[in-house]
């Protein structure tokens, strides 16, 4: 690794943060919409929804809560992705592409930038946990943070796989609705695997985000594991999330190497 390969990661990471801070609308977009989803869906389903295998007092608002944290991460990843497409259009990325650094450095800087933003917003959302009826402890916050880093990195890298292939943001809505939103919907964020019909259950078991979601629930309810219902164990979930993060990062780097 050359000096430039390392310092460029830091510079690109730092740039993502500065840009975000200077565009307050992005914060609103990535934070307010999930919040609205949570209040409206959680409120609306409170009488009719109950996740199988959870105690009776875990209502829709509480069940959806970890799922909405994942949605915050997803939205931040999507915004980071759009930023990369815009960088390509504006010419900034061209200047980065002709710099004497490996493509992996560029992707790592972008992924860490997106991860940091997602993490900060996810943790901000965590403050609302008591409102959802989930008490926070030092242990649970620490564990959730670790899980969020993994999930945020994986989702941002997944976004980058898409962003490096796209010439414009125009086709992005289709990608978002057909790939990214279903990944979230079928992760156990919105309804548990246990309650889904057989074929859908298998799709959910194959969805890597299902394990991120499971790890998040396990971390959040570390003091009260009986309240989660049937989700994969923590160890497997963390391993799967790590694998998800590494695979998406490798894929994003591979796509970036082919891009000229």
Partner 1 sequence: MIAARPSADDAVPAAVVIRGLSHRYGERRALASVDLDVHRGEIFGLLGPNGGGKTTLFKVLATLTPAQEGRVEIFGEDVARAPLAVRRRLGVVFQHPGLDPKLTVEENLRCHAALYGLARSTFRTRSATLLERLGVADRARDRVETLSGGLARRVELAKGLLHGPELLLLDEPSTGLDPGARRDFIDYLVRLRDAEGMTVVLTTHGMEEAERCDRVGFVNRGTLVAVGTPHALKSEIGGDVVVVQTSDPDRLRERIRERFGCEARLVDGALRVELPRGHEFVRAVVDAFPGEITAATFGKPTLEDVFVHLTGHQFWAAEGRESP
Tell me which residues touch partner 1 (CB under 8 A).
Answer: 2-8, 10-12, 14-15, 18-19, 22-23, 90-92, 94-102, 260
Per the structure block, which two tokens stand in for 237?
Answer: 């979930």
Instruction: Rank residues 48 and 260 by Cβ distance to partner 1 and give the closer one.
Output: 260
How far apart CA 39 and CA 59 sit, in angstroms, is 12
How far apart CA 250 and CA 150 sit, in angstroms, is 14
DSSP-derived secondary structure letter, 135: -
Instruction: Rank residues 62 and 116 by Cβ distance to partner 1 and give the closer one.
Output: 116
CB 201 within 8 A of CB 193: yes
| Least distance from partner 1 to the Cβ atom of residue 82, Å | 14
| Least distance from partner 1 to the Cβ atom of residue 22, Å | 5
Nearest of 214, 211, 36, 35 to residue 127 by alpha carbon: 35
How far apart CA 144 and CA 141 sit, in angstroms, is 5
Instruction: Rank residues 19 and 165 by Cβ distance to partner 1 and give the closer one.
Output: 19
CB 80 within 8 A of CB 113: yes
How far apart CA 19 and CA 86 sit, in angstroms, is 13
- Sequence-separated (6 or more) residues with CB below 8 Å from residue 90: none
Instruction: Rank residues 9 and 155 by Cβ distance to partner 1 and give the closer one.
Output: 9
| Least distance from partner 1 to the Cβ atom of residue 95, Å | 4
How far apart CA 114 and CA 80 sit, in angstroms, is 6
Instruction: Rank residues 61 and 108 by Cβ distance to partner 1 and give the closer one.
Output: 108
| Least distance from partner 1 to the Cβ atom of residue 120, Å | 18
How far apart CA 100 and CA 147 sit, in angstroms, is 34
- Sequence-separated (6 or more) residues with CB below 8 Å from residue 97: 106, 259, 260
DSSP-derived secondary structure letter, 195: G
| Least distance from partner 1 to the Cβ atom of residue 57, Å | 47
| Least distance from partner 1 to the Cβ atom of residue 121, Å | 19
| Least distance from partner 1 to the Cβ atom of residue 28, Å | 17
Instruction: Rank residues 5 and 196 by Cβ distance to partner 1 and give the closer one.
Output: 5
How far apart CA 198 and CA 59 sit, in angstroms, is 24
Instruction: Rank residues 11 and 254 by Cβ distance to partner 1 and give the closer one.
Output: 11
């Amino acid at each position: 690794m050359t000096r430039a390969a390392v310092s460029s990661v830091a510079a690109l990471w730092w740039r993502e943060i500065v840009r975000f801070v200077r565009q307050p609308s992005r914060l609103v977009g990535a934070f307010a919409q999930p919040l609205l989803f949570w209040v409206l869906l959680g409120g609306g389903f409170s009488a009719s929804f109950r996740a199988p295998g959870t105690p009776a007092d875990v209502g829709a608002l509480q069940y959806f809560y970890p799922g909405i944290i994942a949605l915050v991460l997803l939205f931040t990843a999507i915004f980071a992705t759009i930023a990369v497409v815009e960088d390509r259009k504006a010419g900034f990325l061209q200047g980065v592409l002709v710099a004497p650094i490996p493509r992996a450095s560029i992707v790592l800087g972008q992924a860490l930038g997106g991860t940091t933003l997602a993490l900060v917003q996810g943790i901000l959302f965590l403050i609302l946990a008591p409102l959802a009826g989930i008490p926070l402890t030092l242990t649970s916050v620490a564990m959730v943070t670790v899980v969020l880093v993994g999930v945020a990195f994986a989702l941002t890298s997944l976004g980058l796989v898409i962003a490096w292939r796209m010439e414009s943001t125009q086709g992005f809505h289709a990608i978002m609705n057909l790939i990214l939103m279903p990944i979230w919907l079928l992760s156990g964020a919105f309804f548990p695997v246990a309650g889904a019909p057989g074929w859908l259950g298998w799709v959910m078991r194959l969805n890597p985000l299902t394990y991120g979601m499971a790890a998040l629930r396990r971390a959040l309810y570390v003091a009260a594991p009986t309240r989660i219902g049937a989700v994969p164990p923590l160890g497997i979930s963390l391993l799967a999330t790590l694998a998800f993060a590494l695979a998406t990062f490798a894929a994003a780097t591979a796509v970036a190497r082919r891009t000229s």
